[in-house]
Structure 1
């Protein structure tokens, strides 16, 4: 449960957990619905309910009384952790999960998407990944991308640098799509890297039949094994599952809320096209090659700064 302090104590005192059907009475108003989870950095003192109408509502718990209507099934998030076999003939790729749809699963009863899928779960949901590399997997955050903050970029850069120093041959970052391009740009300026760093996401969660996560993840691993030692973004290049594009981290933008090919290079060509798990590098692009740079991390930054984007 990601409810904390005031809300957590309120729920515990009333014997309520996520998934329960409850009624909240407040003065002359009452709300009845299924208690949903919240993101880890949401403001305290509120509960989120899914109403019978299908809409979600946030309710401030101050001066309210809660009534348990029906206990719900505990949400089954993830697959559990287990060791992944190491193959000395394969490259070592780090997968770092920050949350978002690519690292989420959907609760079909409530319609809520939970950013609780860990990096290890991604491999269990996409076992084909094991054909391509060995993996060091970790969940750096479990947040939705709209909650990404500049201080997290610094922490992500340090985590990436540690993995590279420990021998990773490439990095894949699973990220929510709404702010993915901001993180790509920030890390591009913060890191000088001797290995590929590939950021990817999904428009639909990994456990859905229509998910684009599988192809994006596999092609990101393929890109992380390549010779392109830069920060890039790997996402669908078309509406179907035919190919992905690899975009330069400072030249990419999300253009649509739901299209699979939502990410485009702006005033620029993609670095490469990845089709049938093979990287076809754009002959017009002069890229930084693997081991051409020494690892450097720029941790300087000002959080209280406005961002102006001019395309």
Structure 2
């Protein structure tokens, strides 16, 4: 029978019945996107019965005015870096690949056009595991340029796995009078359970609000009812696949956004629109590393990084910020040679305090800096950024002990 991509069909093979939308296929088999979101490939050579249920209306283009050309609406810039929110199924391999541009996102989510006018730029089309410090710097420069050119808000599409790093980098690199929102999606846009549309709409709502600074917006519950606005230096991905993977660590979310009404409920302090003057501080030094301590781990790793010319280390210690006592001589040797070493904790919540046990006191005597309640990944990015501002180790230590972008809470409330 005659059918084409986008048509809904039913394929009956013996006792098995499959219904779904016809997807592109590079073989003689039928590929269906079923109602449960999964794809299935079916051969028609064994007497399968195919019935046409619904014809595809074909591709739909929005009228130009609906793509965002309303003088009364604010202007939001969308900077695409890739990730699942900007992805499609690659039918050459069956895998998900980053292919969406900013225009594609607006066309795919027409509700965005009622919130703002948009201009977009594709900076990279990568998954988040391919993100690098040099791309952070390029992104910071692009964000700053958009602010200077009059954008009322910035949206950055990003893969979820390394959002914490990029959000931290932008928090330190860009002082902003407007909202800078990083958004991702846990599930690709071709899946019925995708969170891309809701996340994007909530993000656009925040981008035109008075919540300035760098934030991450993602699902707040397992239902499609609200999103959270997380501070860029206090957010972490805590689940591999749930739509509620992102949570604020050692902090409350800045706000929540009701998906139905788009009402914003403020939950914590934030920088207000226009309070700060735009500034760019994009220097970064990649010669820093993050080490996760484990029982029995050799302290030789410290000497390895020192011999390779690394300037700083962040250690994820146990509990309040501890490592094996046998590490202390190597740590002191590295610090005496000019390295800066910051101690954080492997615990998700809480803060480092090396003044409780003798091991911690010995670490402080060796010159280790307490990371307070910083997320280890954020501490690493901050250390890279600090060395990008100055080569003086003492000044770097001062910066690491200074709250720059909300990364340190001096009083624990959670």
Structure 2 length as normaliser, TM-score? Answer: 0.54
CA contact (8 A) 2:61 2:107 kept: no
Q: Secondary structure of the equivalent of 1:227? A: coil
Give the count of matched residue pairs: 236
Instruction: Report whether the alignment pairs 1:225 with 2:208.
Output: yes
Instruction: Provide the rounded CA distance (Å) in 2 between the counterparts of 1:152 and 1:104.
Output: 19
- Offset at 1:107? 3.5
Instruction: Report whether the alignment pairs 1:183 with 2:170.
Output: no
- Offset at 1:79? 9.6
Among 77, 93, 96, the residue aligned to 2:79? 96
Instruction: Provide the rounded CA distance (Å) in 2 between the counterparts of 1:288 and 1:125.
Output: 31
What are the residue-to-residue correspondences of 1:8-157 with 2, within 5 Å? 84-107=67-90, 110-157=93-140
1:200-249 Cα offsets, whole Å, 9 max, x none, are: 00011123221100000000000111111110000001111011000000
Q: Secondary structure of the equivalent of 2:136? A: helix
Instruction: Report whether the alignment pairs 1:281 with 2:266.
Output: yes
CA contact (8 A) 2:155 2:183 kept: yes
Structure 1 residues 81 and 137: CA distance shift in structure 2, 3 A: farther
Q: Secondary structure of the equivalent of 2:236? A: strand
Structure 1 residues 108 and 237: CA distance shift in structure 2, 3 A: farther
Structure 1 length as normaliser, TM-score? Answer: 0.72
1:157-183 Cα offsets, whole Å, 9 max, x none, are: 111111111110000111000001110
Q: Secondary structure of the equivalent of 2:161? A: coil
Instruction: Provide the rounded CA distance (Å) in 2 between the counterparts of 1:126 and 1:150.
Output: 30
Instruction: Provide the rounded CA distance (Å) in 2 between the counterparts of 1:166 and 1:236.
Output: 30
What are the residue-to-residue correspondences of 1:209-224 with 2, within 5 Å? 209-224=192-207
Residue of structure 2 in register with 1:269 after alignment: 252
Gaps of 5+ in 2: 1-24, 28-40, 42-58, 291-313, 317-343, 345-374, 376-414
Instruction: Provide the rounded CA distance (Å) in 2 between the counterparts of 1:280 and 1:104.
Output: 30
Q: CA RMSD in A?
A: 2.3
Structure 1 residues 112 and 252: CA distance shift in structure 2, 3 A: same
Among 271, 279, 289, the residue aligned to 1:306? 289
- Offset at 1:148? 0.1
1:258-281 Cα offsets, whole Å, 9 max, x none, are: 000000000110000111311111
1:64-99 Cα offsets, whole Å, 9 max, x none, are: xxxxxxxxxxxxxx9999964411000101111100
Instruction: Provide the rounded CA distance (Å) in 1 between the counterparts of 2:147 and 2:79.
Output: 12
Instruction: Provide the rounded CA distance (Å) in 1 between the counterparts of 2:62 and 2:287.
Output: 38
Instruction: Provide the rounded CA distance (Å) in 2 between the counterparts of 1:92 and 1:20.
Output: 41
Structure 1 segments, 4+ long, off by >2 Å, are 78-85, 107-111, 307-311
CA contact (8 A) 1:125 1:207 kept: no
Structure with more of its chain in helix, by fraction: 2
Gaps of 5+ in 1: 1-18, 22-51, 53-77
Higher relative contact order (CA 8 A, sep 6+): 1
Instruction: Provide the rounded CA distance (Å) in 1 between the counterparts of 2:149 and 2:116.
Output: 16
Instruction: Provide the rounded CA distance (Å) in 1 between the counterparts of 2:223 and 2:92.
Output: 28
- Offset at 1:108? 5.7
